[in-house]
Amino acid sequence: MQTDELIKKMEQCRDIIDIEKQKEFRVETENLIRFGIQLYFILKTQEPVPEIKWYEFGNPIEEHAMKGFWEHREEKSLEVSLCYFPAIIAYNTVYHQATVIVQSKPSKLNFLQRAFNTVINAAKTVVANVTDPKNH
């Protein structure tokens, strides 16, 4: 994919009215794309080729492979909300930690409560549809 196509895709994610800011963001976007391409090729020339590891929403915190804002021993109650830079790992050695934003794990009680509420709301909808004189 060409740089211009990538820039157009990235511009679809934002609306900037100010012409000067549009120009600034276009330059920054081009620089970001170039940096990403350079990083990709630099990593591919290394031996062993490092793994680029992105953490998904809901992944548990891996303190040795991630950096973010949390207190020591708090990581068991947290999970990944957003990973905005990947970890770079080779032979189980972390060369660069992933940069993540964390959130509290939902408790089992909250999950069960949400499931219960979903069932109750669905039942209310069914009852309302059956007893509504407009539906008969």
- Whole-angstrom distance, CA of residue 115 vs CA of residue 108: 10
- Whether pTM > 0.95 for this model: the answer is no
Question: Tens place of pLDDT for every residue, the chain, 136 residues?
Answer: 566 777 777 777 777 778 888 888 888 888 888 888 888 888 888 888 888 899 999 899 998 899 998 887 777 889 999 998 899 998 888 989 999 999 888 766 566 666 777 777 777 777 666 665 565 5
- Whole-angstrom distance, CA of residue 24 vs CA of residue 128: 55
Q: How far is CA 59 from CA 6, 11, 69, 71, 77, in A?
A: 28, 29, 16, 18, 12
**What are the structural domain ranges in the chain?**
1-45, 50-128
* DSSP conformation class of 76: G
